[in-house]
Amino acid sequence: MKKLLSILTTLCAAVFLTANIASAHVTVSPDQAPSNSYQKFTFRVPTEKNIPTTKLKIRVPEQVDVSLIEPVPGWKYSLEKNKDGKVTNITWTAEGKGLSSTEFGEFSVMGKIAANANKLEWKAYQTYKDGSVVKWIQEAGGDNPAPVTKVVKGSGEGDDHNAAASDSQDNQAEPKTADSGWPLYLSIIAVAISIIAFIITLTKKKK
């Protein structure tokens, strides 16, 4: 019985670890937006290591024209542009300690999606205090997937910066994430383990 309990405990710990890893990706909101529209894009960055995150670099997709950057307290930003003046890369650098292992940060920009866009891949580069860099640039399903915004057909009529900011606030009020089902799964597993442990305890008492 002790061996069984040990195995169950190990499985439970493995499930929690997997859930933590699955939820630790750099993500972008919204994950879907209409073409030919202004949008507020927010990048959520968790710290996976026991040392702080001190820098975030985002490579802007060609189909997006970034026009505004939202200030983040404790962070400064720099822009890289091409010869036409289009923003190609945005880098946020911590002015203080950065994001510790128990923290996450959100970094937002405003931009217009091109009329012919179908997918926006935001390649992200997360730098830690020790100088190590995690590159979030892989396809979906990889260990380090790039944040992606799916683009659906839109008219773009009446879209402006104010409308984009309002829509973004509505989207963030009820965030959609791929791992949103994890709390339910973990609850079911926890209940199942509790029931098994209770049955084992009763069995021991009868003996």
- For residues 48 and 142, the answer to whether their CB atoms sit within 8 Å is no
Q: Residue 171 is encoded by which pair of tokens?
A: 């989207």
The whole-number pLDDT of residue 7 equals: 47
- Residue with token string 């820098």: 55
121 touches 148 (CB < 8 A): yes
Query: What confidence score (pLDDT) does residue 159 get?
Result: 57
Tell me: the pLDDT tens digits for 96-143? 999 999 999 999 999 999 999 999 999 999 999 999 999 999 999 999
Q: Above 90 in pLDDT, residue 67?
A: yes
The token duo for 94 is 């911590």
- pLDDT score recorded for residue 170: 52
- Residue 195: the pLDDT is 74
In this predicted structure, what is the pLDDT of residue 199? 72
Q: What is the pLDDT of residue 44?
A: 98
- Residue 138 tokens, joined: 């892989």
**At 179, is the pLDDT very low, low, confident or very high (cuts 50, 70, 90)?**
very low
**How far is 59 from 62, CA to CA, in rounded Å?**
9
Q: Given a cut of 90, is residue 55 above it in pLDDT? A: yes
Query: Does 197 score more than 90 pLDDT?
Result: no
What's the pLDDT at 156?
Answer: 55
148 near 31, Cβ under 8 Å?
Answer: yes
44/106 Cα distance (integer angstroms):
5
With 60 as the cut, is the pLDDT of residue 155 above it? yes
Which amino acid, residue 60? V
The predicted-structure confidence for 159-175, as pLDDT tens digits, reads as follows 555 555 555 455 444 44
The per-residue pLDDT for 182 is 47
Q: What is the pLDDT of residue 167?
A: 53
Length of the chain: 207
Sheet holding 32-34, edge to edge: 32-34, 148-152, 119-121
Q: Please give the model's pTM, rounded to 2 decimal places.
A: 0.69
**How far is residue 81 from each of residues 84, 86, 150, measured CA to CA in Å?**
8, 5, 24
What confidence score (pLDDT) does residue 93 get? 98
Confidence (pLDDT) at 193: 72
